[in-house]
């Protein structure tokens, strides 16, 4: 039985080590640092050293979409029985899928569960939307977008302190547990799959680093979720002070307007207090955010105004329920 793992992130390495407690991974298929930079891959990890240290064959693809003839021929020659996919974030071409004897298996989910919430960045979107749980599915890839049949499902919670990073940890842990739970039927080729629910599918749109700009017109609860949703390993929520970029890496709700905090007349985005160590309070609609970690080229001082040009803010359409997944 020849097993492969597709991926190019830190979570890929976590899954690799988890799987190797029960099975032998024959080849890891990944991309180069140059290709990762070109495609703006968040949380990219060069797996060269990790594979060398573990005695695993590594193949660095020429293209992230695997639409290169040389990539497809090389992967075909590996004669893979089962492939696992984690941290790839691209479709696998039909020509490659047809070369796996038993198929390729990866994860996808949403707060509503498939087929609702297919598409891009469902965990980031679930944080932005304020969801409280996430259904994640181990499914067999087909040529469609997250449309494959499901092998097994795991549900995890979304807590108020969760960020994009911790949700990726939860999802990778879920994938390793689901694979190990089902590994014997997989290796024996005696597994059974279930169709996705008979519902109209919806799809989340792609997010880019530019979409992490802060819209100071939004309320305190949305902004708190938004900052968590694009926190590292993503690029972080950003704004500007005197045309110089400031990136907010971690912020929490400090106080709401229910309390008499004394800053209700301040403009949204205004820095109203700076504490020792440069943590600061920023006035937003509905209260105050405390910024714990940020990147800025100068000291932040009281009275500074964080602002974002409205023309740079991409307005994503919403569905009837206020979510960002659309038919």
The CATH number of whichever domain residue 247 belongs to comes to 3.10.25.10
Query: How far is it, in rounded angstroms, from Cα 95 to Cα 193?
Result: 22
* Same domain, residue pair 139 and 281: no
Domain membership of residue 326 (yes or no) is: no
Query: Residue 153: which domain range?
Result: 3-196
Residue 140 and residue 51 in one domain: yes
Contact at 8 Å (CB) between 26 and 6? no
Question: What pLDDT does 118 receive?
Answer: 97
Categorize the per-residue pLDDT at 259 as very low, low, confident or very high, splitting at 50, 70 and 90: confident
* Boundary (domain end) residue, out of 135, 163, 196: 196
- Give percent of the chain above pLDDT 70: 100
Predicted confidence band of residue 305 (pLDDT cuts 50, 70, 90): very high
Structure tokens at 287: 């209260």
Tell whether 243 and 160 lie within a shared domain: no
In a domain, residue 271? The reply is yes
pLDDT for residue 186: 93
- Find the mean pLDDT for residues 91-106: 95
Q: What is the pLDDT of residues 166-201, one digit of tens each?
A: 999 999 999 999 999 999 999 998 999 999 999 999
Is 262 buried (19+), middle (13-18) or exposed (0-12) by CB count in 10 A? exposed
Residue 278: band (very low, low, confident or very high) from pLDDT cuts 50, 70, 90: very high
Phi, psi of 324 (to 5 degrees): -105, 5
- Count of structural domains within the chain: 2
Residue 323 located in a structural domain: no
Q: Does residue 85 belong to any structural domain of this protein?
A: yes
Shared domain check, 179 and 265: no
The structure tokens listed for 326 are 């659309």
Q: Name the DSSP class of 44.
A: B
Residues 182 and 215 grouped into a single domain:
no
CA distances from 157 to 36, 162, 222, 252, 310 (A): 30, 9, 19, 19, 34
Cα(224)–Cα(221) distance, rounded to whole angstroms? 5
Give a yes or no: residue 170 inside a domain.
yes
State CA 256 to chain mean position distance. Answer: 29
Q: Are 54 and 162 found together in one domain?
A: yes
Neighbours of 178 (CB within 10 A): 19
Indicate which CATH number applies to the domain containing 46. Answer: 3.40.50.170
- Is the per-residue pLDDT at 236 higher than 90? yes
User: Do residue 189 and residue 252 come from a single domain?
Assistant: no
Cis check: omega of the bond before 221, within 30 degrees of 0:
no
**Whether residue 219 sits in one domain with residue 259:** yes
Instruction: Report the C-alpha gap between 170 and 166 in whole angstroms.
Output: 6
Work out the average pLDDT over 124-140.
97
Q: Contact at 8 Å (CB) between 104 and 6? A: yes
The CA-CA-CA angle for residues 85, 90, 96, to 5°, reads 70
Q: What is the largest CA-CA distance in the chain?
A: 69
Q: How far apart are CA 142 and CA 139, in angstroms?
A: 9
Are 66 and 93 in contact by the 8 Å Cβ rule? The answer is: yes
Cα–Cα distance measured from residue 25 to residue 237, given in angstroms and rounded to the nearest whole number? 37
33 and 177 co-located in one domain: yes
Which among 15, 98, 85, 2 has a CA at the least distance from the CA of 50? Answer: 15
Q: What gap in Å lies between CA 134 and CA 149, rounded to an integer?
A: 18
Instruction: Examine the domain organization and report whether 168 and 25 are in the same domain.
Output: yes
Q: Report if residue 107 sits inside a domain.
A: yes
What does the mean pLDDT of the chain come to?
Answer: 96
The answer to whether position 154 is within a domain reads yes
On whether both 233 and 150 belong to a single domain, the answer is: no
Mean local confidence (pLDDT), 279-306: 98
Clarify whether residues 135 and 281 are in a common domain: no
Residues 6+ apart with CB under 8 A from 188: none
Q: For residue 101, what pLDDT is reported?
A: 95
DSSP string spanning 218-269? SBHHHHHHHHHHT-TTS--EEEEETTEEEEEEEEEEEEETTS--S-TTSPTT
Print the SS3 string covering 78-136: CCCCEEEECCCCCCCCHHHHCCCCCEEEEEEEECCCCCCCEECCHHHHHHHHCCCEEEE
The pLDDT-based confidence of 89 (bands split at 50, 70, 90) is confident
β-partners of residue 294 are 248
Residue ending a domain, among 156, 175, 196, is 196
Supply the DSSP symbol for 203.
Answer: E
Question: In the predicted model, is pLDDT for residue 75 greater than 90?
Answer: yes
For helices 164-181 and 10-19, give the axis angle rounded to 10 degrees: 20
Q: What is the pTM of this model?
A: 0.93
| 303 within domain boundaries | yes
């Amino acid at each position: 039985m020849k097993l492969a793992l597709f991926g190019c992130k830190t979570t890929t390495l976590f899954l690799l080590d988890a799987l190797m407690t029960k099975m032998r991974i024959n080849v890891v298929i990944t991309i180069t640092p140059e290709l990762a930079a070109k495609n703006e891959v968040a949380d990219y990890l060069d797996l060269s050293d990790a594979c060398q240290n573990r005695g695993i064959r590594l193949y660095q693809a020429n293209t992230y979409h695997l639409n290169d003839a040389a990539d497809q021929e090389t992967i075909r020659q590996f004669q893979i029985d089962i492939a696992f996919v984690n941290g790839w974030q691209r479709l696998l071409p039909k020509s490659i899928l047809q070369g796996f004897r038993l198929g390729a298996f990866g994860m996808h989910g949403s707060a509503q569960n498939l087929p609702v919430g297919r598409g891009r960045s469902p965990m980031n979107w679930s944080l932005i939307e304020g969801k409280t749980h996430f259904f994640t599915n181990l499914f067999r890839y087909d040529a469609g977008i997250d449309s494959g049949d499901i092998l097994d499902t795991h549900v995890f919670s979304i807590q108020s302190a969760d960020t994009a990073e911790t949700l990726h940890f939860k999802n990778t842990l879920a994938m390793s547990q689901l694979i190990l739970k089902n590994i014997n039927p997989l290796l024996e080729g005696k597994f059974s799959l279930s169709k996705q629910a008979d519902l109209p599918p919806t799809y989340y749109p792609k997010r880019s680093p530019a979409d992490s700009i802060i819209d100071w017109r939004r309320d305190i609860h949305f902004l708190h979720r938004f900052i968590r949703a694009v926190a590292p390993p993503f690029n972080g929520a950003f704004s500007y002070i005197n045309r110089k970029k400031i990136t907010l890496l971690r912020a929490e709700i400090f106080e709401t307007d229910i309390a008499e905090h004394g800053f209700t007349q301040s403009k949204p985005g205004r820095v109203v207090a700076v504490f020792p160590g440069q943590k600061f309070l920023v006035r937003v609609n509905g209260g105050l955010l405390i910024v714990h970690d940020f990147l800025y080229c100068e000291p932040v001082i009281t009275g500074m105004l964080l602002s974002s040009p409205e023309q740079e803010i991409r307005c994503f359409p919403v569905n009837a329920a206020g979510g960002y997944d659309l038919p």
